[in-house]
Structure 1
Amino acid sequence: MTQSTQPLPGAAPAAVPGDLGWHLGMVLRGYQTRFEAAVEAMPAGIRGFQVLSAVVHRDPPNQQALGAHLAIDRTVLTYLIDALVDAGVVERVPDPADRRARKVIATAAGRRMLTRYEDRVAAAEADLLAGLEEDDARALGRLIGRLAREVHRTQPGTSPCEAMDNL
């Protein structure tokens, strides 16, 4: 007796190899659209938000560590930090461990700005996940986080932006 590959009536069809990429791409596009709108007035946009968030929440010891964490080329990172310095939301200070290196720290205005934008980003994320049950949305966040950490562990220098550009 052979098994049918046809789904039962009302059942979800079996996954087709390659569908995961399409699904992730569609979710990422929906996320990107909402994220861009949420941070549109932020200095340096999405990347500026990511830099400011990493400075506040991750406290990297120096500019090089910040770039490595975000997988941003040091030349690009310099321009992003310059834009945030010009906006008065971060400043460069000498790294206490190495005076040749610079540590990027948030100003009080930067911390206030990040709080406002985090509220906007949280609302954008909630909007994206609105089609899921609350438990499913939490489970998705946990699973995606676990998968992302595993990919980062096995490919630590990988840039998610570059990956999407090449998809």
Structure 2
Amino acid sequence: MTTPAPPATAATTPSLLGWSLAALLREWSARVAELSQELPHGPRGYQVLAAVVHDAPPTQAALAARLGIDRTVMTYLVDAFVGCELVERQQDPADRRARRIVATEHGRRVLALIDARVREAERELLGDLDDAERDVLYTLLERAASGAAHDDDRCGVVAQAQNAADAGA
């Protein structure tokens, strides 16, 4: 008579971490896609607007590099956001040839609404965890991601992870 093996954990099964992160990212991405469908280009547009609102106003080229988006594609994304009055191109005071991408007040309000919906979706996604456990998870994930990314560009790290998850789906 054999005894059943103990359940797999992240400590006993190294691949469990990758599987868990991929499963969470897939579900998170699907939920964000639904919540951000009113934005130009959906989840990618959400990443763009979040980067513009939460970071110092970037140039279009810097924004493209940060999010891992082709510069030509970024032009179309920014054009769509300008057309919806979510962002505007402003002359860079330090270099009159350069333009910075700046969120409009309307863009900030739209992002605040979507951010609130995303936070609620995250609470539902992590529903088996209580508030304290979710806070610990967020803290640990941010610390681990910051160490793995070797830079402070959280939006770019998310974009790269999401693109990798999309490619594997």
Which aligned pairs between 1:118-137 and structure 2 lie closer than 5 A?
118-137=115-134
Q: 1:162 to 1:32 in 2, by over 3 A?
A: closer
Which aligned pairs between 1:88-107 and structure 2 lie closer than 5 A?
88-107=85-104
Q: Which residue of 2 aligns with 1:143?
A: 140
Structure 2 residues without counterparts, runs of 5 or longer: none
| Number of aligned positions between the proteins | 159
- The percent of aligned pairs where both chains have the same amino acid is 43
Structure 1 residues without counterparts, runs of 5 or longer: none
Report Cα offsets for 1:105-149 as digits up to 9, x if no partner: 111211221121111111111111111122211111111111111
SS of 1:60's equivalent? coil
Q: Is the 8 A contact 1:34 1:124 kept in 2?
A: yes
Alpha-carbon separation, structure 2, partners of 1:78 and 1:143: 35
Alpha-carbon separation, structure 2, partners of 1:105 and 1:151: 29
Which aligned pairs between 1:34-53 and structure 2 lie closer than 5 A?
34-53=31-50
Q: 1:110 to 1:38 in 2, by over 3 A?
A: same
Question: Cα RMSD between the aligned structures?
Answer: 2.3
Alpha-carbon separation, structure 1, partners of 2:73 and 2:115: 23
Alpha-carbon separation, structure 1, partners of 2:14 and 2:102: 45
Q: Which residue of 2 aligns with 1:18?
A: 15
Alpha-carbon separation, structure 2, partners of 1:64 and 1:5: 56
**Are residues 1:65 and 2:62 paired?**
yes
Alpha-carbon separation, structure 2, partners of 1:146 and 1:5: 35
Alpha-carbon separation, structure 2, partners of 1:76 and 1:117: 23
TM-score of the two chains, using structure 2 as the length reference: 0.82
What is the letter of the counterpart of residue 35 of structure 2? Answer: A
Shift in Å, 1:31: 0.7
Q: Is the 8 A contact 1:44 1:84 kept in 2?
A: no
Shift in Å, 1:164: 2.3
Shift in Å, 1:34: 1.3
Alpha-carbon separation, structure 1, partners of 2:13 and 2:114: 38
Alpha-carbon separation, structure 1, partners of 2:65 and 2:94: 18
What is the letter of the counterpart of residue 164 of structure 1? Answer: A
What is the letter of the counterpart of residue 145 of structure 2? Answer: A
What is the letter of the counterpart of residue 69 of structure 2? Answer: I
Q: 1:90 to 1:127 in 2, by over 3 A?
A: same
Alpha-carbon separation, structure 1, partners of 2:60 and 2:112: 22
Shift in Å, 1:163: 2.6
SS of 2:165's equivalent? helix
